[in-house]
Amino acid sequence: MPAHLLRRMTAAMLLALTLCGTGQSLRAQAPITVFAAASLKSALDEIAQGFSATRGPIQLSYGGSSTLARQIQYGAPAQIFLSANTDWMDALERDGLIVADTRVDLLTNSLVLIAGPDVGPVPPISPGFNLAGALGTERLAMALVDAVPAGLYGRAALQSLGIWETVRDRVAQADNVRAALMLVAMGEAPLGIVYTTDAAADPRVRVVGTFPPDSHPPIVYPIALIKGPNQPEAQALLNYLRSPEASAVFERHGFGLAPAIK
């Protein structure tokens, strides 16, 4: 065979192998899609950056756990779900949407009352405390009180303290806890109820009280794989989220570790 034809065939074969390898690489780099409660954003963004640097891309979608769970129920292509309460994970498990034996409680949190930068003194949190008086003519920022975990926890705490009826008509409800945080940070509401970790994420707000742990159900974040494609990669990320490296990041952002992770 003439040398010039041999060179052309060799070049063609090398190009074909290169394209084949590129296709495999692109397929391997398909992002792992994670649906996570909005309160996890600061910590999970940092963790995802560390994982992606060596193990492949992650696509993070944040929102209220209720909204995310419903999207999964309607077929949204999530591969991992990290909820801010057990109820919405229970709903997906009942629907047969999570991978058996991958569910575990990952994190804990606490609930706080926050104030904006120009708000004066607020009474300490105690049974019957005058939250309505502290609001004046303004409104209390909370996540959706009938659906989003932070709102459900907050309503339960106010009911336990005997003051829900005094403020229920003065609640500015937001789609998720980070949106409630933003209302206070921007001065749209003087006070709000968020997680400790959210308060730490914005220097424009200050914590004026922590709700007693027994005033609301335990704040627990379960995690699980969602049935579907790309399971080995998603399992690798789930394992990483349970690792000491990830746990250290979560703790630095104010989360507690669930007993199964300690």
17 and 44 Cβ atoms separated by less than 8 Å: no
Task: Spell out the domain ranges in the chain.
Answer: 31-108+221-257, 111-215
195 is in an annotated binding site: yes
Q: How far apart are CA 262 and CA 247, in angstroms?
A: 9
| pLDDT tens per residue across all 262 residues of the chain | 444 434 444 333 433 333 344 344 434 568 899 999 999 999 999 999 989 888 888 999 999 999 999 999 999 999 999 999 999 999 999 999 999 899 999 999 999 999 998 898 899 999 999 999 999 999 999 999 999 999 999 999 999 999 999 999 999 999 999 999 999 999 999 999 999 999 999 999 999 999 999 999 999 999 999 998 768 899 999 999 999 999 999 999 999 999 977 7
115 is in an annotated binding site: no
CATH homologous superfamily of 31-108+221-257 equals: Periplasmic binding protein-like II (3.40.190.10)
State residue 29's pLDDT score.
Answer: 63
Q: Domain spanning 111-215: which CATH class is it, in words?
A: alpha beta
110 is in an annotated binding site: no
Averaged confidence pLDDT in the chain: 89
65 is in an annotated binding site: yes
39 is in an annotated binding site: yes
Global pTM? 0.85
State residue 231's pLDDT score.
Answer: 83
Residues 6+ apart with CB under 8 A from 245: 50
Residue 250 token pair:
């979560």
State residue 23's pLDDT score.
Answer: 40
State residue 28's pLDDT score.
Answer: 52
- Same fold across 31-108+221-257 and 111-215: yes
Model confidence over 15-25: pLDDT tens digits?
333 334 434 44
